Structure 1
Amino acid sequence: MSWAVRYLHGQVERLSRFQHRSACLPVSARRGAQIVLMPWGRRPDEPGKLPKGGWAHLTHLQGGVWDQFGPKPVRLPVYEFAERDVTGREHWFMVTRGQFLQGCVATLERERRVYVVTLDCAPDVGEFERWPRLVIVPT
């Protein structure tokens, strides 16, 4: 289940795929804040104590499952993201101007990583198992 994003950082177009150890996401904590790159989740073979994976399900965040990691909501200013459907095919989707993927920064001791906040897909869609939470920021 691969995930990928495309974004601009310092006038350079970047492609980040979760399965790569060096995967980073652009993070903005608030409007007008400088964009920083942070490690995207934790792969199974990486050292650390934060959760494995690159996603935090919204209901788990709301239910307190992540509380021990002090999750902080952030915006992920990407212009395109990819998801694999249930057959394994990759699909790319544009992010509308004024929208951001929602992320959360998790911290434990000196370890800090960002995770994409996800929702379940509607049962009638069935093509994807999860979907990123998109947030609209008023201008």
Structure 2
Amino acid sequence: MNQRLQCEVKSMCGGVEAREADKVWKIYFPNPKAALPVLLEDSGQLDWIRWGRRREQPGSGPEGGWARLCTVQAGGWTKYRPHRAFGLVQRFMEKEGRAGEKNRISHWFDVPEGYALECLVIGEGEQRKVYVITTEPPAEYAWIHDRWPLLTALKVE
């Protein structure tokens, strides 16, 4: 598959699990109120930010909740003036197969301690949206999906 076609695939990482104090939240992208706990790199502030934009939702920003690393590196997100952020989740969920297929199996994966999902935040105030940066899956999981959340180590100071 050529790089251009590969970068146009949109669906992946349909859910995450996050903890806040003693509460565990399962957050699924199809829910229009889905939000992720995000640490903003430039401010060090932790916020719950709406996860992407669904087709039926008004507003600016691309449809979906993901940003391909190849598109980010090629400057495709520059026009949105994104801010680097980290999704503080304990697990993420990948669905086997392609969007629209029936009986897709969900697989949950732990995010290692000290790591987070690499994200972009666009917009201001109540219009902010977070997008999970994706890359190629590890070879052992390529059979599940063609995209994978990019994990990054958090710096401890």
Shift in Å at residue 32 of structure 1? 9.3
Q: Is the 8 A contact 2:94 2:144 kept in 1?
A: no
Deviation larger for 31-40 or 110-119: 31-40
Distance 1:57 1:10 in 2: 31
TM-score (normalizing by structure 1): 0.88
Q: Structure 1: any 5+ residue segments left out of the alignment?
A: none
- Of 48, 52, 55 in structure 1, the residue corresponding to residue 63 of structure 2 is 52
Shift in Å at residue 31 of structure 1? 9.4
Task: Classify the secondary structure of the residue corresponding to 1:61.
Answer: helix
Shift in Å at residue 107 of structure 1? 1.9
Q: Deviations over 1:71-126 (max 9, x none)?
A: 11101110011011127211000111011111100127973200000012367833
Equivalent residues in 2 for 1:29-68 (5 A)? 29-30=40-41, 33-68=44-79
User: As a proportion of its length, which structure holds more helix?
Assistant: 2
Task: Classify the secondary structure of the residue corresponding to 1:28.
Answer: strand
Partner of 1:111: 127
Partner of 1:90: 106
Q: Structure 2: any 5+ residue segments left out of the alignment?
A: 1-10, 99-103
* Cα-Cα RMSD: 2.4
Percent of aligned pairs sharing the same letter: 30
Name the CA shift for 1:32/1:52 in 2 (closer, same or farther; >3 Å).
Answer: closer
Aligned length: 139
1:6 is aligned to 2:17: yes
TM-score (normalizing by structure 2): 0.79
Task: Classify the secondary structure of the residue corresponding to 1:14.
Answer: strand
User: As a proportion of its length, which structure holds more strand?
Assistant: 1
